[in-house]
């Protein structure tokens, strides 16, 4: 059998309630980080995922069985949060045709220069 998608395990522990981890290949395909992240978006499984994050050295099979036997049956699918990228950073990124980090650094630098210019211009107000 081919490697399983990490979200097959999430579906298995949360909705199907069937043990799909039958051999060592399945155990190697199980990724605890992705399972914990997917389940942590739901109120009823936050504490369970936190327990598994505390006990990160637990074997994959044991973590899978813990979720399988403790979570109630429910569909747990949600969109994951993505980092916010401002319009200005995207603008500088397109101008420079470079990476996001360089655009962000340039924007931070320009803001710092603008603030220092404002401070120099209005120095007489706070002396």
Are 10 and 65 contained in the same domain? yes
CB 18 within 8 A of CB 12: yes
Are 63 and 93 contained in the same domain? no
Are 11 and 55 contained in the same domain? yes
pLDDT digits (tens, 9 = 90+) for 52-83: 999 999 999 999 999 999 999 988 888 877 77
Residue 3 vs residue 69, higher pLDDT: 69
Is residue 79 in some structural domain? no
pLDDT value at 89 more than 60: yes
Are 65 and 91 contained in the same domain? no
DSSP state of 47: H
pLDDT value at 121 more than 80: no
pLDDT value of position 123: 62
Query: Whole domain around residue 103: which residue ranges?
Result: 87-125
Are 17 and 66 contained in the same domain? yes
Backbone angles phi, psi at 57, to 5 degrees: -85, 0
In the chain, the number of structural domains is 2
d(CA 108, CA 102): 10
Mean pLDDT of 84-92: 69
């Amino acid at each position: 059998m081919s490697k399983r998608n990490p979200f097959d395990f999430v579906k298995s522990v949360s909705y199907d309630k069937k043990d799909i981890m039958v051999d060592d290949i399945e155990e190697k395909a199980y990724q605890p980080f992705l399972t914990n992240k997917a389940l942590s978006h739901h109120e009823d499984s936050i504490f369970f995922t936190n327990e598994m994050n505390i006990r990160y050295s637990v074997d994959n099979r044991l973590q899978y069985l813990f979720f399988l036997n403790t979570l109630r049956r429910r569909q747990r699918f949600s969109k994951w949060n993505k980092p916010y990228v401002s319009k200005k950073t995207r603008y500088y990124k397109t101008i420079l045709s470079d990476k996001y980090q360089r655009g962000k650094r340039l924007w931070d630098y320009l803001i710092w220069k603008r603030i220092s210019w404002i401070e120099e211009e209005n120095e007489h107000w706070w002396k």
